[in-house]
């Protein structure tokens, strides 16, 4: 009888820990959940984000080719979103000089400046990939607010103008992928990025 009670107590404790620990350990901070809902809205509800709702537990979303959210504690450390928009390389004769908002981009209500203002509030972000989402506009200098960023990939969008000098302040940056956009002008001096391994 005594052994039965011991076994029952052990099973109950183990079950309780399995049920409660994941949620107490990796439940996303409410402020960061609100930021993700803002991202969903600003990106005009791309397919990868359409299922998000008030019951979504972002830290336990299974990774897919179009969406990955990784948490550490109650903060987001990785956000990867891959859309289904066309890229500049798929549109003949497109350049920064003749760019226009179209069905290939987000609408004329979109602001890349406002979008990054929201994203930079994810203070623990280490990896950010935003690919084929129809982003357009100049890349804002405020991207240097990502203090912990190690990977930045904004490829296959319609970002134009110069690459901001603030990119050169990312001391922990290992990978910078800006390809298949409409950037023009000179590239900032990146020689100070001592751990940079990939540049495209």
At residue 131, the 3 state secondary structure works out as: strand
Return the DSSP state at 64: B
Alpha helix ranges (H) inside 43-165:
112-119
Quick: pLDDT tens for 4-61.
Answer: 544 444 444 444 433 434 433 468 999 999 999 999 999 999 999 999 999 999 999 9
Quick: pLDDT tens for 121-170.
Answer: 999 999 999 999 999 999 999 988 888 999 999 999 999 999 999 999 88
Residue 7 lies inside a defined structural domain of this protein: no
Task: Count Cβ neighbours within 10 Å for each residue of 122-153 and write b for 16 or more, e otherwise.
Answer: bebbbbbbbbbbbbbbebbeebbbbeebbbbb
Residue numbers of the domain that contains 97: 27-199
Residue 12 lies inside a defined structural domain of this protein: no
- CATH code for the domain in which residue 176 is found: 3.80.10.10
CB count within 10 Å of CB 199 equals 13
Joined together, the tokens standing for residue 6 give 């011991």
pTM of the model: 0.85
Residue 2 lies inside a defined structural domain of this protein: no
Residue 141 lies inside a defined structural domain of this protein: yes
Location of structure tokens 């908002």: 101
């Amino acid at each position: 009888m005594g052994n039965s009670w011991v076994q029952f107590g052990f099973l109950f404790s183990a079950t309780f820990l399995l049920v409660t620990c994941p949620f107490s350990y990796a439940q996303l901070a409410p402020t960061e959940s609100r930021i993700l809902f803002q991202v969903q809205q600003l990106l005009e509800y791309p397919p990868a984000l359409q299922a998000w709702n008030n019951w979504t537990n972002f830290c336990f979303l299974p990774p897919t080719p179009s969406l990955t959210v990784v948490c550490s504690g109650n903060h987001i450390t990785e956000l990867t979103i891959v859309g289904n928009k066309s890229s500049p390389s798929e549109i003949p004769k497109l350049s920064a000089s003749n760019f226009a908002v179209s069905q290939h981009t987000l609408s004329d209500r979109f602001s890349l400046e406002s979008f990054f203002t929201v994203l930079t509030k994810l203070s623990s972000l280490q990896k950010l990939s935003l690919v084929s989402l129809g982003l357009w506009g100049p890349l804002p200098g405020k991207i240097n607010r990502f203090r912990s960023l190690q990977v930045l990939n904004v490829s296959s969008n319609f970002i134009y103008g110069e690459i901001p000098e603030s990119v050169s302040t990312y001391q922990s940056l290992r990978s910078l992928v800006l390809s298949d956009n409409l950037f023009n002008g000179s590239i900032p001096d990146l020689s100070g990025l001592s751990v940079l391994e990939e540049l495209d």
